[in-house]
Structure formats: C-alpha cells, structure tokens
Structure 1
Amino acid sequence: MTPMRAEEKNTPPVSRRAAVEAAEWFVTLSDSGTSAHERHGFETWLARSEEHRLAWERATQISAKAGGLPSAIAVPVLTRRQSAVSKRAAVQALAVLIVGVPAGWMAWQSGSLQHRLATFATATGERRQWTLADGGRVTLDTGSAVDVEYGPAIRLLRLHAGAIYIETAADTDAANRPFVVQTDHGRVRAIGTRFTVRQDARRSRVAVTQGAVEVSLADGSDSRRIEAGNEVSFNASALMPTATAAAGSVQWARGILAVENMRLDEFAAELARYRPGIVRCDPAVAHLRITGAFQLNDTEAVLLNVIHLLPVDVVYRTRYWATLVPRAQST
C-alpha cells in the first residue's frame, strides 16, 4: 500500500455559527429529559449540511477524548435546573473548543497534532495495513498513528497513539539493524517475531504471537524478554507481571473485538474506539460481564448482540450517541 501522510487529509474549518449550534444541541441532548421533538429537530439540523456533521463530530470527539465533558462544560449541564446563564456559558465554552479542534484542545488532549503528522495514521473505525521498506508489515488499529524511521543503525517505529500489529521481516540491509517500536513508556525490540503494541496515556501493552520481544522501560531501570503467547503491560518506570496473552490482544487486527468476562463499562469504552460518536454505559449495568467475539465492521450489530446477551437495552439520543441501560429503564 502507498503510505498516506495524515496531513494530506485536509480538514475543513467549522464556522463559529455551526460550532455554537452544535454546542447548543450537545448541551440539549445531554439532558435526560430530551423530548422526541427535540431529537427530531437535531436530526434535521444534522442532515442540513456537511459542516453541521463535522461540528457535531468534533463535539462528540471532545467529550469522548475527555472521558466526558470538559470540566468547564460539565458543571453547567449536570441537571435540568440550571440557569439560562449557566447553559449559555456551557454552550460558549464548547463552541470555542469545536472551532479550535483539532489544532487546539484536541491536539493537547489526545496527541492529534502528532497524529496528523505521522507517517501512517487511521481515523475512528478505520484499520489499515502497510508494507514496510524491508518487506515487513504493519497493521494500524482504529485511531492510531505511527512514525516509521529507517536509518543506518536502526529500524524504528514511534507509536504515538492507538495500537499496531507488526509482522517483522529480515533486514535487507547488511548491517542487520534491530527492529524497535518506541512508545511513551519504553521500547520493544523484536526478535524475529509477530506482536502487537498498544499505548494509552497511562501505559503500553505488548502481546507476542510468534517469536519473542525484549521490552525496556523508558527510564532504563528494567527490561524483560516476552515469549510467544504472553503479554506484558508497562509504564515509564515499571514492568507489570508477564501474563498469558488475552484473546483480544491481537484479534482486532483481524477485525474482531474478542473479550472474555469483561465488565460492560470497559466493553463500551473499547467499542467506542471503533464507532464514531459516543458509546456510554449506565452505572447500573456497568458491573455486568460479557464474553464473545464481535465483528468490528458493523458496530451497530455489536450493540444488537449485546442486548441479546445481557439484560440491557440501547437508548439512542442520536445516531451518534448510544447508551447501554437496564432493560426496564428503556421501556
């Protein structure tokens, strides 16, 4: 495949008016008392233009990346009994972020600036595969970004966000350069292998399917060899105990979300990585456990499968905002 740099994807600007309207709808739909008439009004507004769709997408991204509304916005919309002044303040605060995304708040919050400048990058719900210069292959998970730097002494992949699956190849250079994946938390050196590396703000995780890797912490305090069938999580200063690789560690590269006895709130957060918009889980059902293998090319079907497996239902505020709730609550 031909590498496509993320900066080649031109993102159109959002006008102040569209941002304010999107923010107004977001604050309105955050209210548990939203009426069917209001939801219909939102759908009509959303379908009116591509700019409206983009503004709404940015609003939901801001919320999802922050694990909820930014604090400046969240407080004014916690209850229906907010003053008009508080709600106007919330709308204005969110509108500023929508206009500034991705160069402003989102760049700081989620590393989107690095994402846009990366050698390879994927959008929400997208998975892509590239062939490297030495014949190795790299598969990027949803919302991921990686730089590829092949120099005279090393073959280096810098993972900025998300997850990658690597199938290494023998070095075509006579120097037999080491193959290394670098994250914020350390380095992973391949030893004739296939493996996946995932990074979030708190830690990195490596799972090996063939061969072995050597994991070294960013602060240089420790390193460990991880053999096929095992995985390890680590931050910049500590390696967690080595464990048997979880079923879902590599299945995403085949388009499958595989989970075993996972809490429903964790499952919702994982599914949200692959679905545009927001997926939430009501605290009343967060503790429920789910096991299964779900096709990621149809997240709507995944949600339908969940309601057949567990005593829950899905409530849609909009097409882009789904919440898993107790079944009785949705009737």
Structure 2
Amino acid sequence: MRTAPTSEMQEVARAAARWLALLESGTATEADHICLQHWRNSSANHEHIWQKAQQLRQRFEALPPALAMASLDRPDLARRAAIKRALGIAAVLPTTWLIARQVPVQVWLADVHTAIGEQKTLQLADGSLLQLNTDSAVNVDLSKRELTLVRGEMALRVNDSAGLTIHLPYGRVVVGRSDVCVRLNERDCQIKVASGAAQLHPLQGPALFLRGGEEVSLRPGGAGEVGRFDASLPGWREGVLIAQNQPLGDFLRELRRFRPGLLRWAPELENLRVIGSFRVDDTDRVLSLLAASLPLEVQSRTRYWVTLMPLKAHV
C-alpha cells in the first residue's frame, strides 16, 4: 500500500503543472525549453513526474483547442499577460486545473488509471481479473497481495483461495475466490459482492461477512446496513447504465462520470423518470435518446458544453 504523497512530491507536481501551462500557452521561448530540460535533468523524481504529467495531458488531448487554451483567442496580448492567464486561471487550462485542483497527485501517479469515459480490463500476474470504470485509479502490489482503490470504481474477480486485500479510505475488503465491485464516492465507499464472499473490515466497528448478491456502504463511522442487489443485471462492467424508473437528475449525475466536459440540466428536469438500458461508450446518443423520449431538448455549445432544457421553455 502506497503512502500519501509528500509535500516535496506535491511541490514537484505543481512545478510540472506550471511547466505544462507555459508550454500550452504558446509563448514558451527557446530559453524556456532549455530551462525545462534542465529542471527535468536535475532530478529523477522531476523526470518521473513530468512523464506522468504528460500522460495525464494526453488523456485530455481530445479537448477542442478553444477549451484547451482560451488565451489563443487573443494572440495580440503581451507574453506576460498570456502566461499570467495560463498560470492563474484554472478554466483557461484544463490540464493545469486537473493536476492542481481536480486530480490528486496520488491519482495520476497510480499504477493503473482510466480517463473520463475510459474503461480498462487487466489480468493480474496471479490470474485475477481487474476492471476499472471511468475516471478511476488503483495501485497494485501483488508482493503483499493487496490493491488500493485511489479513485473511482473497480471490480475484482479472484480465482486464488489465498485472496487479495482491497484497501479503502474507511477500511479494507478481503476477497478470495469471489467477484466484487468497489466504488469510492465523496462521503462513502460502496461494496458489492457479485459472487462468492468477502470479508469487510471497517476502520470503525465490527467486521462483516458479505455473500453474493449483498452490498453495503462503508463510512468513516463504520458500515451501514447490508442490502441486496440483483447481480444478474448488466452494469458498467458490460458498458451499460440501467435506469429503472430513475429520476433524471440521478441518471445524469451518473452519466456525467462517463462524459468529458460540462453537462448541465434545468432544475425542472430533475424528477422526470428514466427507464431503459444505455451504452456508456456513446453518451451523445444517450442524450439523443433522452430527448426523443422525454420533454426536453439538448443544447450544445460544443461537444464539451451541453445543457438540457425543458421543451416548454423554447416553444
């Protein structure tokens, strides 16, 4: 299990973000490039984090130029003003905003991670199957038979009776010959056992034994009540979102996890009901299907800036 990043590592990450901001501002001089190379060469840690920052940048390189660097809209401004905007305004540079504000250092240093809208399946060296949902990060240490969920959601299918331990902010889950899903939310962790069984050890309160089809929420004060779910229904592991008479607001908050950019909706739409199965690999189509079946319309400024509005507001 990895330790939390040190203050030195955080400062290096901030420095990498500043270098990225300068390069993407379009104002970097030859001297700036020389200084950057010197910074990278001065420390193996600098170079390691720079490469990680570059990987993060590539995850979001599909963003249109107008969103990626708004300062390019004003090429006549002075170099100092452009740099000031690039370094000081988070909305101007998504890469810097993601590194410094939205994505913790431990996320983009994780062993395995996914971008928004990306899902990943890996077979570990011991034969276990690891799946990551959108915008997720996991550290893997098979020498200690443990994984750490840093962000987002993962599923783990273990065939070895020796088992694996999943570390979470509020406890740990021990999995052996089982299939489990674990999700980190803002204030809790959700643990679902699709098949087999798992032992849950909260930081507070007694341990629990969960069987197939059972789920529980883990919070700072301990585990909640054990509930049931239908493990036969398809879910994110099959690339599907299922809505069973679900409030539209709840559905859109879930869909937003799979969609880069800004997705908003009018408050009047919050409690419309959604029924159906939707593929998460084409969120534009999902929005079109919602517009075809509900009294709403999709307003798109760009692919990355979408608002849902009631039809009555534009009749």
d(CA) in 2 for partners of 1:220 and 1:14? Answer: 43
TM-score (norm 2): 0.71
Matched, 1:160 2:171: no
The residue number in structure 2 matching 1:274 is 258
1:56 maps to which of 55, 59, 67: 67
Regions of 4+ moved over 4 Å: 15-19, 91-95, 98-103, 246-250
The letter of the residue matching 1:214 is Q
d(CA) in 1 for partners of 2:62 and 2:193? Answer: 43
The residue number in structure 2 matching 1:305 is 289
Q: 1:272 to 1:120 in 2, by over 3 A?
A: same
The letter of the residue matching 2:157 is E
Cα deviation 1:275-300 (Å, max 9, x = unaligned):
11111121011111212210111111
2:89 maps to which of 84, 91, 96: 96
The CA deviation at 1:268 is: 1.1
The residue number in structure 1 matching 2:81 is none
Matched, 1:194 2:186: no
Cα deviation 1:24-83 (Å, max 9, x = unaligned):
xxxxxxxxxxxxxxxxxxxxxxxxxx7983672599xxxxxxxxxxxxxxxxxxxxxxxx
d(CA) in 1 for partners of 2:95 and 2:233? Answer: 29
1:224 maps to which of 205, 208, 228: 208
Paired-residue identity, %: 30
Higher RCO (C-alpha 8 Å, min separation 6): 1
Unaligned runs of 5+ in 2: 1-12, 27-60, 71-83
The letter of the residue matching 1:201 is E
How well do the aligned residues superpose, as a CA RMSD in angstroms?
Answer: 3.4
2:278 maps to which of 294, 309, 322: 294
Q: 1:121 to 1:320 in 2, by over 3 A?
A: same
The residue number in structure 2 matching 1:136 is 128
Q: 1:323 to 1:195 in 2, by over 3 A?
A: same
The CA deviation at 1:95 is: 4.9
The answer to whether the 8 Å contact 1:102/1:113 transfers is no
The letter of the residue matching 1:162 is G
**SS of residue in 2 equivalent to 1:130:** strand
d(CA) in 1 for partners of 2:63 and 2:134? Answer: 24
d(CA) in 2 for partners of 1:306 and 1:143? Answer: 24
The CA deviation at 1:13 is: 2.3
Matched, 1:146 2:153: no
Cα deviation 1:214-251 (Å, max 9, x = unaligned):
2221x242321111112111112221211122679861
The aligned runs of 1:1-331 (5 Å cut-off) are 13-15=20-22, 18=25, 53=64, 56=67, 95-98=88-91, 106-107=98-99, 109-151=101-143, 154-170=144-160, 176=162, 178-217=163-202, 219-245=203-229, 251-331=235-315
The letter of the residue matching 2:176 is I
The answer to whether the 8 Å contact 2:22/2:86 transfers is no
**SS of residue in 2 equivalent to 1:276:** coil
TM-score (norm 1): 0.68
